Amino acid sequence: MELKRVLVGIDGSPASAAAECWAADAVRDCGGEVIAVHVVDSPLVRQAAEDVVYGLGMTQTRLLRARAEPRMVEEDWCQPLRDAEVRYRTIVAKGEPVQALLHTARKEDVDLIVVGHHGDSSFVHRLFRGLSDELLDHARRPVVVVPYFGAGARPRH
């Protein structure tokens, strides 16, 4: 299958970088384009889950990060795409992550959606379901979930 446009969800994590590498490999031979999408403004419930996972009292850090995100997306987070020397562009979308990715996929008429997965099976992940779980449930186009288990880690079977 020739892939003209591949959407990859990015968030600056190692799992997201693995997804970028996968997407770059997928379009390299056919000259396709990677559309790197980062979503900001998570809803309150997901924000509460992130606060539990990452620690309370991070409001100021989160505000500073939100202001810097468009620059971070292009300068820092897209390095795997630059290294792969593939055509790409970035979009910073607002809203609930799954809906924003699906909306962007429809708007850009992408052939494939690619996201990274942290290999997280924690209680919080199971309680709130991961982004990849929800994308698989709602996408009307192919989705590739690229696992990432950490540097040097081996996947569990």
In a domain, 138, yes or no: yes
Sheet holding 112-117, edge to edge: 87-94, 33-40, 5-9, 112-117, 143-147
In this structure, are residues 104 and 35 in contact, taking their beta carbons and an 8 Å threshold?
Answer: yes
CA dist., res. 132 & res. 116, Å (int): 8
Per-residue pLDDT at 13: 87
In a domain, 99, yes or no: yes
On the 0-12 / 13-18 / 19+ scale of CB atoms within 10 A, 1 is: exposed
In a domain, 87, yes or no: yes
Q: How many domains does the chain have?
A: 1
In a domain, 61, yes or no: yes
In a domain, 156, yes or no: no
Per-residue pLDDT at 63: 45
Per-residue pLDDT at 128: 47
In a domain, 142, yes or no: yes
What's the CATH code of the domain at 143? Answer: 3.40.50.620
In a domain, 155, yes or no: no
In a domain, 128, yes or no: yes
Per-residue pLDDT at 124: 47
Per-residue pLDDT at 51: 61
**Local confidence pLDDT in tens for the 157 residues of the chain:** 789 999 999 988 899 999 999 999 999 999 999 999 998 865 555 566 556 555 555 444 444 455 556 677 788 889 999 999 999 999 999 888 899 999 999 999 999 999 998 766 555 444 445 778 889 899 999 999 998 877 655 444 3
Backbone dihedral angles phi then psi of residue 59, each to the nearest 5 degrees: -55, -50
CA dist., res. 42 & res. 131, Å (int): 12
Q: Please indicate, yes or no, whether the overall pTM of this predicted structure exceeds 0.75.
A: yes
Radius of gyration for the chain, computed over Cα atoms and rounded to the nearest angstrom: 15
| 132 contacts: CB under 8 Å, gap ≥ 6 | 115, 117, 143, 145
For 78, the domain range is 5-147
| 81 contacts: CB under 8 Å, gap ≥ 6 | 20, 23, 24, 34, 36, 88
